[in-house]
Structure 1
């Protein structure tokens, strides 16, 4: 389980999770996969949930609406809180 796996798609955004059972750690990340196959080349949320947009990507305004980002950040927080992930209000 030491690789990121797709967890859920929500409004253009993909949330992925990696579980490391050797150190009992769960990592989660969110990105818009339509622009690139590699995570680092995508529009994504950084470690502090900040929006990161590579300069070569044009973004649709509706993909980064604050209301949408709030929902994605909440889902990331839920994902990071433990092994069990049960999203609400999708």
Structure 2
């Protein structure tokens, strides 16, 4: 039973977990294989990460898939600040 719980915890740590929602953006974090935290931001909605979501890349540049609209500047600024906080520490506030 202990072994099964450890396997479940490891799998959970490898998937993104929602930590905040800011101005329509979904802020998520996961632990990589070396236990470093990885943060990402996308406009909440349906669809896959790469083809159907407006998102910020690793350099905080906005990526807008075909057919979707660019978010406004205030919304982008809020998402970038949330990512800065997420990436700066394991504590997010």
Correspondence for 2:55 among 41, 44, 51? 44
Structure 1 segments, 4+ long, off by >3 Å, are: none
**Partner Cα distance (1:67, 1:56) in 2:** 21
Residues matched between the structures, number: 80
Task: Determine which structure has more spread, i.e. the larger CA radius of gyration.
Answer: 2
The reply to whether residue 12 of structure 1 matches residue 27 of structure 2 is no
In structure 2, stretches of 5+ residues that fail to align are 1-12
Q: Are the aligned partners of 1:14 and 1:30 in contact in 2 as well (CA < 8 Å)? A: yes
Shift of 1:40: 1.1
Shift of 1:33: 2.5
Provide the residue aligned with 1:71 in structure 2: 78
**Partner Cα distance (2:14, 2:26) in 1:** 18
Structure with higher strand content: 1
Q: Are the aligned partners of 1:31 and 1:44 in contact in 2 as well (CA < 8 Å)? A: yes
**Partner Cα distance (1:32, 1:7) in 2:** 14
In structure 1, stretches of 5+ residues that fail to align are none
